Amino acid sequence: MSGLDLSVVVPAYCEEQRLPAGLRRIREWLAAWPGRAEIIVVDDGSSDRTSAVATAELAGFPAATVLRNEPNAGKGASVRRGMLSARGAIALFTDADLSTPIEEFAKLQAAHTAGADIAIGSRALAASQIEVHQPLARELAGRCFNLFIRTFVMGGIRDTQCGFKSFRREVLPAVFGRQQIERWGFDVEVLYIARRLGYQIAEVPVVWRNDEATKVNAAADGLKMLREALQARRMHRHLTPGDRDGRLD
């Protein structure tokens, strides 16, 4: 056992400008957090100095790792690599821009304490706080996407795409070990696998602020995500809770 309570996984692609401030905020928060934690940055084959600034910003932190994909593999691949490297009792992945403030982890932690295997931040619940909205067209596209997911892939989750999700350590191999989608559609695949395996998923309202520098193209990436969501259902619909400890796909 590692003795770590929390792993914070940060996927990053060409983030040399935004990443240092985000890592400083995470470090400051962890300094007051009552537990032992590690930070894992996964540089997804960036063409800028993302790895260098991450290494510099994490210098002196007692448990820090900077991994690099070569070449670029996709956000899903980066999250999978980071989560499968995590040693904490709970592993959280968060976007580099901290659109959901790191302090919101307290809400996810409470869901784990109440029994959830997986806790996911949500922008779509009544108690969610959207402090900076996306452009209207993008926000409507997101709502349509989530309606599609609830109708054709899996019900019961209002927001699959918020980049702030945490998992108990024992869930990681069964879920991320089966993940195959490596780009934007991976969130749906991961949650679909977890649902098929019978893990308890708690959707938690969080604070969220849109960052205009997002790398998602709502039109082109949205269509790919729809196709990938259906692909996830085809690949994993055979799973049952009895497969948790069985051979990975």
- Is the peptide bond between 34 and the residue preceding it cis, with omega within 30 degrees of 0? no
Average pLDDT over residues 208-234: 78
Average pLDDT over residues 98-126: 97
Average pLDDT over residues 32-40: 97
Residue 212 pLDDT greater than 60, yes or no: yes
In this structure, what token pair is assigned to residue 83?
């989560």
What rounded mean pLDDT belongs to the chain? 92
The predicted pLDDT at position 214 comes to 61
The predicted pLDDT at position 1 comes to 44
SS3 at position 82: helix
Task: Output 87 or 142, whichever has higher pLDDT.
Answer: 87
pLDDT, tens digit, for every residue of 92-107?
Answer: 999 999 999 999 999 9
The answer to whether residues 208 and 100 touch, using CB atoms and an 8 Å cutoff, is yes
Question: Chain centroid to CA 170: how far?
Answer: 17
Average pLDDT over residues 18-32: 97
Q: In whole angstroms, what is the distance from residue 169 CA to residue 147 CA?
A: 30
Q: At what angle do helices 75-85 and 186-196 cross, to 10 degrees?
A: 50
Residue 217 pLDDT greater than 70, yes or no: no
Q: Which residues contact 21 (CB under 8 A, 6 or more apart)?
A: none
Kindly indicate the confidence band of residue 184, based on its pLDDT and cuts at 50, 70 and 90. Answer: confident
Residue 34 pLDDT greater than 70, yes or no: yes
Task: Output 141 or 80, whichever has higher pLDDT.
Answer: 80
Question: Considering the chain, what percentage of its residues have pLDDT values greater than 70?
Answer: 94
The predicted pLDDT at position 71 comes to 94
* Residue ranges covered by each domain of the chain: 1-98, 120-239
SS3 at position 157: coil
In this structure, what token pair is assigned to residue 201?
């998923």
The predicted pLDDT at position 222 comes to 72
The predicted pLDDT at position 246 comes to 62
The answer to whether residues 184 and 218 touch, using CB atoms and an 8 Å cutoff, is no
Q: Would you say domain 1-98 falls under CATH 3.90.550.10? A: yes
Q: Which residues contact 167 (CB under 8 A, 6 or more apart)?
A: 83, 90, 91, 92, 117, 118, 175
